[in-house]
Amino acid sequence: MHPAFSVIFFTTASGAGYGLLALVGMLAPLRLIPADRSFAFTALALALGLITAGLLSSTAHLGHPERAWRAFSQWRTSWLSREGVLSLATYVPAAIFGIGWVLFGRLDGPIAVAGFVAAALSAATVCCTAMIYASLKPIQAWRSAWVVPGYAALALMTGALWLNALTHVWGAGQRWLGVLAAAAAILGLLVKEAYWRSIDTTAGPSTPESATGLGRRGKVTFLDGPHTEANYLLREMGYAVARKHSLKLRRIARVLGFAVPLLLTLLALALGGTIAVPASLLAAVAGMLGVLVERWLFFAEAKHTVTLYYGATTA
C-alpha cells in the first residue's frame, strides 16, 4: 500500500495525544501526577494539540476534504465513522476536565468523572483507528490479530514517554512513571515483533489461481499486464518495498522507536537530577520518530489482493 505521509502523521500524532490524554485523565484525579495548573495546561495542550494536528492532517489524504463530514453518518457499519464520532466526542469531557483543572484547580467530583470518561474515549478512539485497518479483508497483513494491540501499545508508549518527560520538566519526576514508560517501550517492541513475525510467517489466502477461479486448471500465469501505464490501483495499492529495505527500516524502527527511548528513560531513572530532563525529552522525541518509521512500514509492507491481477503471486 502507498504510505501517505498524512495518514502516517495522523496515526503517530493522534496516537501519542490520545495516549497522553488517557494517562492524564486517569492519573490526575487519583493525584498520581502533579496537580499544578501550569502542568495541567501544558499536558492537556500537548495532548489535544497532537490529537488535533493528527485529525486535521488525516483530511489531506481525502480527494474532497470538504465532504469529510459525511463519514460521521455511517457509524453503525464503518470503523472510520466510529473513529470520527469518538474523536469529536472525546473533546467534550476533555474540555470539561481541562476547564475544571486549569481554571478552578478541581480534580474531584464531576471533573474527575470527566477525566475518566476522556481517558476511556481516548482508548476507544485508538482501537477504532486500528480497526479501520484490521477490518479490511483484502489486505492480509492488516487482518493480523496484532494490529489492534499494536496501535494500543504504541499509543501507551508514546503517551507515557511524554508524560514522564513533562513531570521531569516540572521537577516532579517519579520513579514509577519512569518505570511505566520503560515498561511501555518494552511492551511496544514485543507487540511489534509479534506483528512482524505474524506477517512474515502467515501466507496470504489468495493467489492468482483463487482470484481468477482457474486454479482447477493448473497454475495461472500472465501473458501481459492489464494496463500499459500505471493507474490509481497500482499507485495506491500496488506499492511495494524491497525486502532488504524493509529489514533495514525495521532495524531503524527498533533502535529509534524502542531501544533509544528505553535506554534514555533508564538513564533518567538512574541519574535523575538535571540529566533526567533532556534524557526524558529526547526519549519522547525518539519514540515519535521511531513510530513514524514503523507506521511507514505498516503501510508499505501491506499487499492488497487486487495486485494479483497485476502479476503478484500472493497477497
Q: Check if the beta carbon of residue 306 is closer than 8 Å to that of residue 143.
A: no
pLDDT attached to residue 10 = 94
φ, ψ for residue 29 (rounded to 5)? -60, -25
pLDDT attached to residue 97 = 98
Q: How far is CA 168 from CA 150, 174, 216, 269, 279, in A?
A: 27, 8, 65, 10, 10
Q: Check if the beta carbon of residue 44 is closer than 8 Å to that of residue 102.
A: yes
CA dist 84 and 86 (Å) reads 6
Of the candidates 264, 259, 297, the one whose C-alpha atom is nearest the C-alpha of residue 279 is: 264
Cell triple for 240: 511495494
pLDDT attached to residue 134 = 94
Of the candidates 48, 121, 125, 54, the one whose C-alpha atom is nearest the C-alpha of residue 84 is: 125
* pLDDT tens track, the chain, 315 positions: 677 888 999 999 999 999 999 999 999 999 999 999 999 999 999 999 999 999 988 877 776 666 677 777 888 888 999 999 999 999 999 999 999 999 999 999 999 999 999 999 999 999 999 999 999 988 888 989 999 999 999 999 999 999 999 999 998 889 999 999 999 999 999 999 999 999 988 876 676 666 677 777 777 777 666 666 666 666 666 677 767 888 999 999 999 999 999 999 999 999 888 899 999 999 999 999 999 999 999 998 888 777 766 666 666
Cell triple for 296: 511507514
Q: Check if the beta carbon of residue 164 is closer than 8 Å to that of residue 173.
A: yes
Of the candidates 138, 115, 129, the one whose C-alpha atom is nearest the C-alpha of residue 30 is: 115
pLDDT attached to residue 42 = 97
pLDDT attached to residue 258 = 97
Cell triple for 279: 534524557
CA dist 182 and 313 (Å) reads 41
CA dist 244 and 276 (Å) reads 37
Of the candidates 171, 163, 164, 129, the one whose C-alpha atom is nearest the C-alpha of residue 148 is: 129
Decide: residue 309, CB within 10 A, 0-12 exposed, 13-18 middle, 19+ buried: middle
Sign of CA dihedral 73, 6, 193, 16: negative
